[in-house]
A and B are shown apart, each in its own frame.
Chain A
């Protein structure tokens, strides 16, 4: 199943070119929150 992203998480992931499936979601049922995307981006800066 496709990961579920909050609206802000969706936008940041697209801006930074991050594959949503690669982000560990901490929201209910594995939902990806804005915090999750920001944390993911900081840990692995885009090339």
Chain B
């Protein structure tokens, strides 16, 4: 037996690489398998998040936001310049450099923690054996006591708009445009569609976002999603709800997209580039041998319990390939939980408090329950809001759009949800996540000292507003 491991992780994305590092830290003999390679055949660690997801999209969002600020906001501060230009290839090259640095960093962490890297495709056989198919086609069997499947997700394709890698692209292609498309179509007004639409809209694309659902950001708190939609429309994003794409046709260098609107009428819009961002699906291609014993649910996710255990003892699955929100921090925490369990420790993960962030500008973030969820559950709640327009720090920064909203239980005052659209939304929500992990009441946060002037004060004031005690806004009359 050439290879015998305690743990073999399949996939080196945020779920898999974190799991492998934690398992190695806990003294387990650990290997990680990754098949993703760049066009030169070099293995790429870090998965979707580092290579074509979280990190590259944030790099482009930050670059494009600076461009907008320079173009539109600098004058306000008294900063005059004779014109700003965006060099798109340079912006994309900077992004690629960051990606290279971080993915290389994962390789360094593997070495430092003595995680064995296998380059190739892993397949789960019966009896927890792993078949490794390398780039050159050779096959090797790896024996292991535990298997962790972390194979991630792929963009969903829809029949009316097959991607061609040129005019019709998925999120990966949209991170690689070498020039700003004049007319850009985005199918899907979810996180990915909004972020990518924002990047290219800021650089001058005329953006139309087509969304099949009738409610904007259905998972977010309704008040926050309404406020956000208003802000995005003001920024020039043409977001069309209840727009169901039925067909597309490539004519020369143009994409003609047909969609039916809320009234059932057909409309045709013409784009230079079209991004399909309708969702992501679990990726399990060639992963499971028919007799391995691991089962999938009806949507193609690997079936697991609350501790990410599959139907086969010693085989776990984590991240986008299993149920729950498709978020990097969710996958990573599952990786830690599973490594802990394999090492014989208690493994725990609080699925109630996974924060969500949309990195538009202003940013949108939330944790816990939305007002509509609490209504549906019949919970007696109270809530307070605070607008950034009343925050001294926000005004100084010229970031006056958006608001903080805090919801708590009427009887216990325990905080149930925190929702923010505005500057540093993710950081403000994170303060709430910490408080909520300790079962904080709004009174707990009200009694906490917040620095002045900071954006965090908006959270403090929203918390005070829950009981009509905000200082810097007129409080709403209690019912």
Whether A31 lies near B438 (C-beta < 8 A) is yes
Q: How far is the CB of A36 from chain B (nearest CB, A)?
A: 13
Q: Restricting to B430-444, which residues have a CB under 8 Å from any CB of A?
A: 437-439, 444
State the majority secondary structure of interface residues on A: helix
Which residues of chain A are near B438, meaning CB under 8 Å? Answer: 4, 6-7, 31
Whether B346 lies near A6 (C-beta < 8 A) is no
Interface residues of B (CB under 8 A from A): 345-346, 348, 350, 437-439, 444
Whether B444 lies near A11 (C-beta < 8 A) is no
Whether B345 lies near A6 (C-beta < 8 A) is no
Whether B346 lies near A15 (C-beta < 8 A) is yes
* A44 contacts chain B at the CB level, 8 A cutoff: no
Whether A11 lies near B437 (C-beta < 8 A) is no
Q: Can you name 16 A-B residue pairings with CB atoms under 8 Å?
A: A4-B438, A4-B439, A6-B437, A6-B438, A7-B350, A7-B437, A7-B438, A10-B348, A11-B346, A11-B348, A14-B346, A14-B348, A15-B346, A28-B444, A31-B438, A31-B439
Which residues of chain B are near A15, meaning CB under 8 Å? Answer: 345-346
Across the two chains, which residue of chain A brings its CB closest to B437?
A7
How does the 8 Å CB contact mask read for A1-37 relative to B, with 1 for contact and 0 for none?
Answer: 0001011001100110000000000001001000000
Which residues of chain B are near A11, meaning CB under 8 Å? Answer: 346, 348
Across the two chains, which residue of chain A brings its CB closest to B350?
A7
Q: How far is the CB of B346 from chain A (nearest CB, A)?
A: 5
Across the two chains, which residue of chain B brings its CB closest to A4?
B439
Which residues of chain B are near A10, meaning CB under 8 Å? Answer: 348
Across the two chains, which residue of chain B brings its CB closest to A28?
B444
How far apart are the CA atoms of A31 and B348 in the complex, in Å? 19
Which residues of chain A are near B348, meaning CB under 8 Å? Answer: 10-11, 14
Given A4-B438, A14-B346, 15 more A-B residue pairs with CB atoms under 8 Å apart are: A4-B439, A6-B437, A6-B438, A7-B350, A7-B437, A7-B438, A10-B348, A11-B346, A11-B348, A14-B348, A15-B345, A15-B346, A28-B444, A31-B438, A31-B439
Chain A CB count within 10 A is highest, among B345, B350, B438, for B438
Q: How far is the CB of B416 from chain A (nearest CB, A)?
A: 14
Interchain residue pairs A-B with the least CB separation, the first 8:
A4-B439, A15-B346, A14-B346, A7-B437, A6-B438, A11-B346, A11-B348, A28-B444
Across the two chains, which residue of chain A brings its CB closest to B447?
A28
Q: How far is the CB of B449 from chain A (nearest CB, A)?
A: 16
Across the two chains, which residue of chain A brings its CB closest to B434?
A7
How far apart are the CA atoms of A6 and B444 in the complex, in Å? 14
Which residues of chain B are near A31, meaning CB under 8 Å? Answer: 438-439
Which residues of chain B are near A14, meaning CB under 8 Å? Answer: 346, 348
Q: How far is the CB of B347 from chain A (nearest CB, A)?
A: 9
Q: How far is the CB of A25 from chain B (nearest CB, A)?
A: 11
Which residues of chain A are near B444, meaning CB under 8 Å? Answer: 28
Q: How far is the CB of B275 from chain A (nearest CB, A)?
A: 39
Q: How far is the CB of B461 from chain A (nearest CB, A)?
A: 22
Across the two chains, which residue of chain A brings its CB closest to B412?
A1
Q: How far is the CB of A11 from chain B (nearest CB, A)?
A: 6
Which residues of chain A are near B346, meaning CB under 8 Å? Answer: 11, 14-15
How far apart are the CA atoms of A28 and B348 in the complex, in Å? 24
How far apart are the CA atoms of A22 and B288 in the complex, in Å? 46
How far apart are the CA atoms of A28 and B412 in the complex, in Å? 13
How far apart are the CA atoms of A6 and B348 in the complex, in Å? 13
Q: How far is the CB of B220 from chain A (nearest CB, A)?
A: 26
Q: How far is the CB of B237 from chain A (nearest CB, A)?
A: 39
Which residues of chain A are near B350, meaning CB under 8 Å? Answer: 7
Across the two chains, which residue of chain B brings its CB closest to A12?
B346
Which residues of chain A are near B439, meaning CB under 8 Å? Answer: 4, 31
Q: How far is the CB of B345 from chain A (nearest CB, A)?
A: 7
Across the two chains, which residue of chain B brings its CB closest to A17?
B346
Q: How far is the CB of B69 from chain A (nearest CB, A)?
A: 38
Across the two chains, which residue of chain B brings its CB closest to A16?
B346
Across the two chains, which residue of chain B brings its CB closest to A15?
B346
How far apart are the CA atoms of A14 and B437 in the complex, in Å? 16
Chain A CB count within 10 A is highest, among B346, B348, B444, for B346
Across the two chains, which residue of chain A brings its CB closest to B443?
A28
Across the two chains, which residue of chain B brings its CB closest to A29?
B441
Q: How far is the CB of A17 from chain B (nearest CB, A)?
A: 10
